[in-house]
Amino acid sequence: MTSSWECERHGPVPPLRTWAGVNAELVEQAARSADVPLWCPLPLLPGWSVTGLALAGDERVGARATALALAGPCPLGGPADMVLVAEEPGTGLGGRLAGTDALDPGSVAQGPPDAKIEVAGHPTALWRCESAPDRVAFAGEAGGVWWWAVLWPPASELLLIEDLEIHDLRQEQHAGLVLPFGAPTFRLGG
């Protein structure tokens, strides 16, 4: 008998909670209660909005992973989705969203990075990692945890050459921040 959540393939895992609709109050509550960063590009790119939120964890151990979903225009035309994940090693949320069975991003940091993004005021390297064919995933380390950027469609990886600045919504200066919210995403599952 155990009170932990079990995965047939990975063993004990933190439970995943997703929300069908997301609003400012929910994002603020998640930011206050998360043990890992809640990453968000600030300012948002033109035409982009927040479309979903997921937390992996429970009241006993806190959120071991966060995911913030965003949607907007793809640089090559059409719609695009981006999910930014922060997770403790071994959690597996980033791998799940990337469309793999991996708990961690694997052999990243092999060779030069594929992208560099400013995260929490520091230039941070990202490496392309395994993903399902309908998306592209990048991973690196920031704030002492894995961070992932998963994008749909694969051509939306061009967003990473934009002047993105990723911030942790848990930081006090972001309290009360007004974000645009869009239609709920299906990218987080749940």
Q: pLDDT value at position 5?
A: 55
Instruction: For residue range 75-119, list pLDDT tens digits in order.
Output: 999 999 999 999 998 888 999 999 988 777 876 657 889 889 999
Which residue stretches of the chain are H helix? Answer: 24-33, 93-98
Looking at residue 2, its pLDDT comes to 47
d(C-alpha 137, C-alpha 160), whole Å: 11
Task: Tell me if the pTM is above 0.95.
Answer: no
Tokens of 159: 């967003």
pLDDT single digits (tens) 128-155? 998 999 999 999 998 889 999 999 999 9
Pairing of strands 122-129, 136-142: antiparallel
Report the alpha-carbon distance of residue 137 to residue 144 in Å, rounded.
19
**Mean of the pLDDT values across residues 33-54?**
95
